[in-house]
């Protein structure tokens, strides 16, 4: 495999604070960094972390097709990879969510035999779920891009949450530093009127990008989107959220997955809050009161294992998670690396030397025998979602 490698990361939506620890570690370690972000504070943060950082925004130009810009961005990144450097590309939001040059660069790198990967980041959709208190698991969520929705006549799942990206640049393939016209917007309005009718609600959402601002959450009904003054509020940063028109009934399939349609099996209500404040979930019904009353004085059940890692074990695992250089050394010889760590309990040293994830994580909870035996497989399941409604 050639020497160069590529990692693509996202900077999140809000300046600086939405970088993940994993992304920052990659940023600091890179030989060369290229970035395209939305605010100068994030730009400065990137340059502080890595002096080699180069701004990709300079490849936009008035009248140039955005696809041509994306070709250039990807090629600049690949030139550094081909030169044998460890390269990081930083893109606004989640680097794989409506970001063409990031995917293009990874595809080219992989096709040429280089190591290339993308790290997860915080997207506009993640911010929307948080700011509007939307749970995509109930009753489901559909995400579409506005232009693609129209030109392919994609069906809209009106029984689910619907999120429409890029409503402010509909049908626009070019770029202008002064802003992109949205003169095709009424085509989207007509489609929404057809699917939902005039009185159905819609939210024009824009995530906050700094601590100096708040999220934009503008509530309209679909017929109001035809108003030129309302249309002025829709721009390149806008994402539309449309709540469900009607929920689907529980079908006969429920019996196939051991759910009782009659309701004799207790099912939790969906805890998604209506962002338009037209309804609110029932948080304390008879079932909830019964569960709380029956619990009484809580004591941990059999099978629960408390966190019990030594300070040395915790610090070592943190270092391996956050420092790619340390991880490389560890992977070359886990046994040798383990001997350099002081303060481990005997069973922790044995687990760390095994290089088995399940064994290592198991050792960090109480319940192991004094002999130092560790299980070879540990499965930890955390289910936080709703039961079917």
Positions annotated as catalytic residues are: 66, 70, 92
Give bridge partners of residue 339 from the DSSP assignment.
none
Kindly report the CA angle at 355 between 354 and 356, in degrees rounded to 5?
A: 90
Record the tokens describing residue 69, joined without a space: 């810009």
State the DSSP string of 184-234. Answer: THHHHHHHHHHHH-TT-EEEEEE---STT---EEEEEEGGGGGSHHHHTT-
Q: How many residues does the chain have?
A: 389
Record the tokens describing residue 381, joined without a space: 């399941």
How many CB atoms sit inside 10 A of residue 250's CB?
14
- Answer whether 222's CB lies under 8 Å from 196's CB: yes
Fill in the DSSP letter of residue 317: H
β-pairing, 86-91 vs 32-36, is parallel
Record the tokens describing residue 362, joined without a space: 């198991």
Report how far residue 146's alpha carbon sits from residue 154's, in angstroms, rounded to the nearest whole number.
Answer: 10
Report how far residue 111's alpha carbon sits from residue 114's, in angstroms, rounded to the nearest whole number.
Answer: 8
Report how far residue 55's alpha carbon sits from residue 49's, in angstroms, rounded to the nearest whole number.
Answer: 14
How many CB atoms sit inside 10 A of residue 219's CB?
13
With residue 90 as reference, give the H or E element that holds it. Answer: strand 86-91
Please list, in sequence order, all residues whose beta carbon lies within 8 angstroms of the beta carbon of residue 44, skipping any fewer than 6 positions away: none
Nearest to 93 by CA among 207, 240, 172, 204: 207
Question: Within 13 A of 159's CA, how many CA atoms are on the CB side?
Answer: 5
Record the tokens describing residue 110, joined without a space: 């992989």
- Answer whether 369's CB lies under 8 Å from 387's CB: no
How many CB atoms sit inside 10 A of residue 297's CB?
4
β-pairing, 115-118 vs 54-55, is unpaired
């Amino acid at each position: 495999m050639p020497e160069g490698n590529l990692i693509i990361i996202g900077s999140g939506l809000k300046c600086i604070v939405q970088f993940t620890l994993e992304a920052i570690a990659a940023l600091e370690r890179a030989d060369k960094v290229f970035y395209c972000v939305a605010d100068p504070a994030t730009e400065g943060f990137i340059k502080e972390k890595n002096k080699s950082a180069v701004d990709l925004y300079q490849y936009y130009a008035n009248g140039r097709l955005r696809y041509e810009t994306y070709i250039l961005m990807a090629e600049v990144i690949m030139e550094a990879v081909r030169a044998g450097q460890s390269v990081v590309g930083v893109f606004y939001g989640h680097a794989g969510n409506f970001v063409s040059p990031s995917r293009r660069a990874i595809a080219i790198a992989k096709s040429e035999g280089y190591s290339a990967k993308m790290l997860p980041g915080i997207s506009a959709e993640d911010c929307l779920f948080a700011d509007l208190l939307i749970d995509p698991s109930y009753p489901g969520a559909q995400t579409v891009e506005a232009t693609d929705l129209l030109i392919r006549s994609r069906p809209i799942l009106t029984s689910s949450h619907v999120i429409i990206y890029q409503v402010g640049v509909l049908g626009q393939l070019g770029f202008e530093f002064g802003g992109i016209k949205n003169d095709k917007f009424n085509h989207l309005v007509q489609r929404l009127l057809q699917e939902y009718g005039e009185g159905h609600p819609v939210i024009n959402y824009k995530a906050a990008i700094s601590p100096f601002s708040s999220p934009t959450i503008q509530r309209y009904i679909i017929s109001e989107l035809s108003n030129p003054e309302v249309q002025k509020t829709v721009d390149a940063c806008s994402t539309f959220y449309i709540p469900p028109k009607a929920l689907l009934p529980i079908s006969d399939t429920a019996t196939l997955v051991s759910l009782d349609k009659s309701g004799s099996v207790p099912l939790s209500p969906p805890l998604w809050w209506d962002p338009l404040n037209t309804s609110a979930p029932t948080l304390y019904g008879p079932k909830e009161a019964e569960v709380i009353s029956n619990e009484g004085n809580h004591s941990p059940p059999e099978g629960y294992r408390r966190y019990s890692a030594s300070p040395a074990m915790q610090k070592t695992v943190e270092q391996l998670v956050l420092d790619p250089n340390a991880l490389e050394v560890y992977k070359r010889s886990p046994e040798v690396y383990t001997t350099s760590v002081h303060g481990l309990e005997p069973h922790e040293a044995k687990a760390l030397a095994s290089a088995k994830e399940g064994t290592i994580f198991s050792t960090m909870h109480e319940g192991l025998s004094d002999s130092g035996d560790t299980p070879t497989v540990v499965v930890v399941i955390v289910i936080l979602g709703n039961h079917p409604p």
